[in-house]
Structure 1
Amino acid sequence: MVRAGSRRRIRWWWIVLALVVAVLVPVAIVVVPILTHVDQGESGQIAPAEQWPTSVTATGDDSRTRSFDVLPPEPGASVDTSALRAGDRLVVSGTGYDASRGIYVAICRIPDDPGTKPGPCIGGVPEQGEAAEGTVGAVEYAPSNWVNDDWAWKLFGARGYDDAATGTFTAYLEVGDPVAEGLDCTVDACGIFTRNDHTALADRSQDLYVPVAFAE
């Protein structure tokens, strides 16, 4: 016959085990893909044919063709990527991306070596604080956007892909101050970039950009 005290101890062990599993499973879901990721090479982008394009398309080393367009927030308006100003709002619409990896979307310094991570970027790394109730997936303009389809990262401020199967996303940029610590987009060559987020920082396969400049 099992005594009452023994039954209580057994019950507590099951509670502790359940709590450990509840903590470790989400951690494993987030950490394991980061640790096991294999870099997919470079994006395949070459220098744009026109000076101030509003779109880009490239086929990466992973044989995936990606593209994005820079659009105005209002239908019928236009975007002048050669004369941006702080406070301008832009919509970045892309497709063909690998939705198993998140991306950052921001205006960054164009690196001399395409094998180097773009940056610094206006707005830095998107804020990764816990999302307020009702804001997950909401349209919010910011100097840098974070797109990640993992449910765990959505809880910390990421927008999901519009369609994971086709790698389609929408980002909402509000142009920030072009001059920041270590960056001056009035002097440096800068562009609107997509690049892998912190889950695959060394992977350059999703580094696409549209060059931009700022009005004097």
Structure 2
Amino acid sequence: MRSAARTASRATVAVLGAAALTLGLASSASAATVNRTISDGGSYTLSVTAPSTAPASGANVNVTGSGFNQAQGIYVGLCAVPAGVDVNNQSTWNSKPTPCLGGQDETGSTGASHWINNEWHWMSPNNASPYTSGAGGTGGFNVNIHVKAKINASVTCGQSGVTCAIVTRADHFDSNDRKYDVYVPVTFS
């Protein structure tokens, strides 16, 4: 009997410890929401919520969005903020966010980006999905991507003046369209 009580006690301590650890991890990663209103055959208020901090070694993070034109495919990923772009001033968002972690990952091999579109998502089932239906015919998404500070061999977030953000941007069918760029700045610890 004493052994069963000890086992139950240890199990309770383990569950409570795991819950405390999970709560600690959830509260240490804060999230930020950025909104942008655009005109593209209609008026769309884009909203993107993503973590504002992440571990430098890498982590899977959840990114949500709403208000998107379902006729425009987008990528969601971590990118370096281009020179001349101020993430706090949308009038400067006129340069393509690049380089991005994993590049333009159309195959889903890195998990570093996600392609949201309603027509071609079936071509890349590892990292693509259709928009979810939103208010007024707009589209949304809820995806997980992998982020880490080192984007490539020569670009690391937080080093040599490189700032980074979790971004949305028009997909490869319209990669020069800057209207769908939304920046949620992220720092790495």
Tell me which of 32, 35, 46 is aligned to 1:57: 35
Quote the residue 1:212 is aligned against: 186
- Structure showing greater Rg: 1
**Distance in 2 of aligned mates of 1:163 and 1:189:** 33
Tell me which of 114, 117, 133 is aligned to 1:148: 117
Tell me which of 72, 92, 109 is aligned to 2:80: 109
Report which stretch shifted further, 115-124 or 52-61: 52-61
CA drift at 1:178: 1.9
Q: Show structure 1 runs of 4+ deviating over 4 A.
A: none
1:35-54 paired onto structure 2 within 5 Å? 54=32
In the alignment, structure 1 residue 184 sits paired with structure 2 residue 156: yes
Counterpart secondary structure, 1:149 = coil
**Distance in 2 of aligned mates of 1:205 and 1:185:** 24
**Distance in 2 of aligned mates of 1:198 and 1:66:** 19
TM-score with structure 2 setting the length: 0.67
Report the residue type matching 1:144 in the other structure. Answer: S
TM-score with structure 1 setting the length: 0.60
CA drift at 1:146: 1.0
Tell me which of 142, 145, 148 is aligned to 1:170: 142
Counterpart secondary structure, 2:173 = helix
CA drift at 1:61: 4.0
Report which stretch shifted further, 81-90 or 99-108: 81-90
Report the residue type matching 2:97 in the other structure. Answer: P
| Structure 2 segments unaligned to the other structure (5+ residues) | 1-29, 86-92
**Identity across the alignment (%):** 34
**Distance in 2 of aligned mates of 1:183 and 1:146:** 23
| Structure 1 segments unaligned to the other structure (5+ residues) | 1-51, 71-78, 130-139
- 1:66, 1:97 within 8 Å by CA — same for their partners in 2? yes
Alpha carbon RMSD of aligned pairs, Å?
2.4
Tell me which of 144, 154, 172 is aligned to 1:198: 172
CA drift at 1:90: 1.1
Report the residue type matching 1:67 in the other structure. Answer: S
Report the residue type matching 2:61 in the other structure. Answer: L
Structure with more of its chain in strand, by fraction: 2
Report which stretch shifted further, 90-99 or 156-165: 156-165
Report the residue type matching 2:168 in the other structure. Answer: T
CA drift at 1:60: 1.7
Please list the CA deviations of residues 3-50 of structure 1 after superposition, one character each: whole Å capped at 9, or x if unmatched.
Answer: xxxxxxxxxxxxxxxxxxxxxxxxxxxxxxxxxxxxxxxxxxxxxxxx
- 2:75, 2:169 within 8 Å by CA — same for their partners in 1? yes
